[in-house]
Structure 1
């Protein structure tokens, strides 16, 4: 039995260690959206330009996505505890530097560092769950992680609004970053005590695939840049980066196959994609994140710019989704072992119905009362999201070897970041186009939501295809066996 396999049996503080991991994950995911409502304060306090504000937001998402796979592999090779602690320390220091920034250029730079350090932390969380838990307990732990993802995504605007209102003044935005300091220090101290110490890659020493990192990093960068900067980079020339990205990612795939054929350790073990549960689950996750995360982007813009809501009121309006997501993810963690992919299908259907309900509420209840009318549909969409994210994560990583858990988690979460960026670009384009012509915010929101629903229905089609394949596969195997016996 390897050190890694023995670790879950010896580690009697697994649930406390999980709480440490999820607190760090919550903090890093919260920073993807909490800054939204602080941008006007940043603009006033630092006299930041529109381009600066754009990079404060998109730069974090960009470096977050770039760091995930290399950091996951680093955790597999050098130990998840060490990589988690290094990422957490860097994230806390970068948060302090963001808050102390004297001009917009420094703020953008430190946000890039903050995003990269968040990308170091994220894959360690899913890998540590695989390392510490098995069976139904693993599903329950992934359910708690799903709750963390859903809640952090939804409450970011609320948390930012509360901090801005409490601190006030032109420097109120600084507390959006300072709030990470006590949390980061407390989590770091707890992680030193609670996280398992074993290295995640026992046996022979494996090298770090530097060419693979460069090919994947530049490929993902070329893919994400035009997506995250879609509104800021005018013209169509930016889309020329997409074929460049395709070429780089194809070169990465060829290089990883070359590494595998010659017995060298690749950055991403391509055999993972031969696991149908992993490849289908990763694709479904990418598509789903392209739909559901865009809800808060267009809905918050609609409430603040279209309906005149303040930052705090707009943040409070997202709370039904957060509450529903927490409840749905907790239930999903218990039910996924019993229902499998059917539970994901039920969740996706519920999300689509909930978002249709939001679109209907905007149509039937015009004016400032729209947030109350949309509360129940948002609650339903949140429950559906909880029943989608955590069960899909459990199913996607169920057959992945634990020693490859960090890299696999990095691939899964990179897809989520790419999906979110692509979804915001697509839904944002529809929203702003209809906002300009004819200029009705409610109509623009409805078209944006319908675009997001179409993306979610694509994820639903993938889930149905997988379910059908699982049903047909045993019949095919029976026919092949009967044919062999008849020969």
Structure 2
């Protein structure tokens, strides 16, 4: 199988003078979508009381968004590759903004969950376009800086979200406060749409077949280009999109609904079968000379395959940290929700700083930055376990976790954005959206599986022992997952040092 990245590097790229303005629009949107996620966590108790929502309703307020987001990612990424990323990005922003209005005005829990499903679709449309547009407009060291700013905005959003949510709920009261946590997205979304219509250049919205000149940074394979010219919009591969969407849905659904419906675990074998059917369909599509939803030759690029695996493993382990800390602080130590949210603020701010620092240096130091980040994550996990153990014996304060969790904040900044830049570096530009969406799908699957698996370990240990013991067990599982991710990162570093490696 011919590698997609075997083409020579194009030397004709000229930076777009408006690229930094475009990046500002992208980062503002990322801020909006992430604020929406972190605020909802704070607003759940108010929603429960105001709408008389059941526990299942509350679960779907969180899970419905994640589910639809993960299902549409890859199809939306490929659509952006073919139809134009700028246009789909703005459609996604508009849908997310309208769904925020619907959520803020929801009369009951069913309406709210429907709005959250729509928000997930909007985010699934816009996110892969954002990654693809960063690849389109930035090359070399500038791309690393752009991803660094991306990571900075992620860290800042995570830090300010709970604080802003608490403030809005305090100002608006029980009935209005939680509604404001959704409606706060509306002015941001409107501003993004106006600026995007003004600043996104028209050539960004391409039609199938109007591909970039040949070259590793911007080419499709000639057969794919001819197929796109011949088939027009049918090159979106709707059947492949349906198969993959159903595979992701049947895989994620048990992890978000198993507590109320254990039989949903039977969907996992179905997911594996659908994935196999999807791979077979994509191969058949390529053999017929047509344009597949995902060109499987992308996975022959070693840096891409390794990077996707690192990201999935990292999210499988590390995303659960903040869930465990919140549970431990509130249920184990009896702290309020506001006090428990303070544990993550230093880590989030350090993550923002580290993302910017790493983004400026990722093209110089490469995968070594990710390796250092994973080592810092292990250090944070080990020292946090020591604090919990000492606190259980009255020898330390739980507030020492502010320091140890800061290592995890640094790790997040050194792993996520640099890994994105390195993973997508050798992928042809015409597959920027779909390849970025594949990476994000790995993140969503890792997050869902990790939270379900690690919280299950926590509650299983709690049935037999105490909160400190349960926390140590959960941290131990996370350390094991991070060690596997570290092994993959070291392997990728060695692969990159081989002569002629991709």
> Do the aligned partners of 2:371 and 2:486 also contact (CA within 8 Å) in 1?
yes
* Residue 427 in structure 1 maps to residue 454 in structure 2: yes
Pairing partner for 1:403 from 411, 430, 441: 430
Partner of 2:285: 259
Partner of 1:46: 51
Report how many residues are paired: 469
SS in 1 for 2:192: helix
- Write the deviation string for residues 107-165 of structure 1: whole angstroms up to 9, x where unpaired: 11110011111111110111000111111001111111222334434544333223222
* Residue 100 in structure 1 maps to residue 105 in structure 2: yes
* Residue 208 in structure 1 maps to residue 213 in structure 2: no
> Do the aligned partners of 1:54 and 1:232 also contact (CA within 8 Å) in 2?
no
Change (3 A) 1:282 1:414: same
- 1:285-296 maps to which residues of 2 (within 5 A)? 285-296=311-322
SS in 2 for 1:318: helix
> Do the aligned partners of 2:151 and 2:416 also contact (CA within 8 Å) in 1?
yes
Pairing partner for 1:138 from 137, 140, 143: 143
Partner of 1:350: 376
Q: Cα distance, 1:371 vs. partner?
A: 5.1
Partner of 1:373: 400
Partner of 2:270: 244
- 1:388-467 maps to which residues of 2 (within 5 A)? 388-438=415-465, 440-467=466-493
> Do the aligned partners of 1:147 and 1:325 also contact (CA within 8 Å) in 2?
yes
Partner of 1:334: 360
> Do the aligned partners of 1:285 and 1:389 also contact (CA within 8 Å) in 2?
yes
- Write the deviation string for residues 68-93 of structure 1: whole angstroms up to 9, x where unpaired: 11111111111111001100011001
Q: Cα distance, 1:436 vs. partner?
A: 2.9
Pairing partner for 1:73 from 74, 78, 81: 78
> Do the aligned partners of 2:15 and 2:138 also contact (CA within 8 Å) in 1?
no
Q: Which segment is superposed worse, 89-98 or 426-435?
A: 426-435
> Do the aligned partners of 1:32 and 1:61 also contact (CA within 8 Å) in 2?
no
Rounded Cα–Cα distance in structure 1 between residues aligned with 2:12 and 2:344: 40
Change (3 A) 1:265 1:336: same
Q: Cα distance, 1:10 vs. partner?
A: 6.1
Partner of 2:215: none
- Write the deviation string for residues 405-440 of structure 1: whole angstroms up to 9, x where unpaired: 1111111111111111111011111122223332x2
> Do the aligned partners of 1:159 and 1:315 also contact (CA within 8 Å) in 2?
no
Pairing partner for 1:82 from 87, 109, 112: 87
Partner of 1:308: 334
> Do the aligned partners of 1:85 and 1:188 also contact (CA within 8 Å) in 2?
yes
Q: Cα distance, 1:314 vs. partner?
A: 2.1
Change (3 A) 1:310 1:135: same
Q: Cα distance, 1:255 vs. partner?
A: 0.5
Q: Cα distance, 1:321 vs. partner?
A: 1.2
Partner of 1:323: 349
Partner of 1:484: none
> Do the aligned partners of 2:255 and 2:452 also contact (CA within 8 Å) in 1?
yes
> Do the aligned partners of 1:87 and 1:118 also contact (CA within 8 Å) in 2?
yes
SS in 1 for 2:449: helix
Rounded Cα–Cα distance in structure 1 between residues aligned with 2:109 and 2:155: 30
- Write the deviation string for residues 229-286 of structure 1: whole angstroms up to 9, x where unpaired: 24343x3x32221111000011001101111111111111111111001111111111
- Write the deviation string for residues 303-326 of structure 1: whole angstroms up to 9, x where unpaired: 223323333222222111111111
Partner of 1:119: 124
Long gaps (5+) in structure 1 = 477-487
Rounded Cα–Cα distance in structure 2 between residues aligned with 1:166 and 1:302: 28
- Write the deviation string for residues 361-380 of structure 1: whole angstroms up to 9, x where unpaired: 2222358x855211111211
Change (3 A) 1:300 1:103: same
Q: Cα distance, 1:190 vs. partner?
A: 1.6
Q: Cα distance, 1:8 vs. partner?
A: 7.1
Rounded Cα–Cα distance in structure 1 between residues aligned with 2:389 and 2:102: 44
Instruction: Compute the TM-score of the two structures, normalised by the length of structure 1.
Output: 0.91
> Do the aligned partners of 2:15 and 2:137 also contact (CA within 8 Å) in 1?
no
Partner of 1:482: none
Partner of 1:480: none
- Write the deviation string for residues 156-192 of structure 1: whole angstroms up to 9, x where unpaired: 4333223222322244211110111111111221212
> Do the aligned partners of 1:143 and 1:332 also contact (CA within 8 Å) in 2?
yes
Q: Cα distance, 1:6 vs. partner?
A: 11
Instruction: Compute the TM-score of the two structures, normalised by the length of structure 2.
Output: 0.89
Q: Cα distance, 1:7 vs. partner?
A: 11
> Do the aligned partners of 2:36 and 2:185 also contact (CA within 8 Å) in 1?
no
* Residue 30 in structure 1 maps to residue 31 in structure 2: no
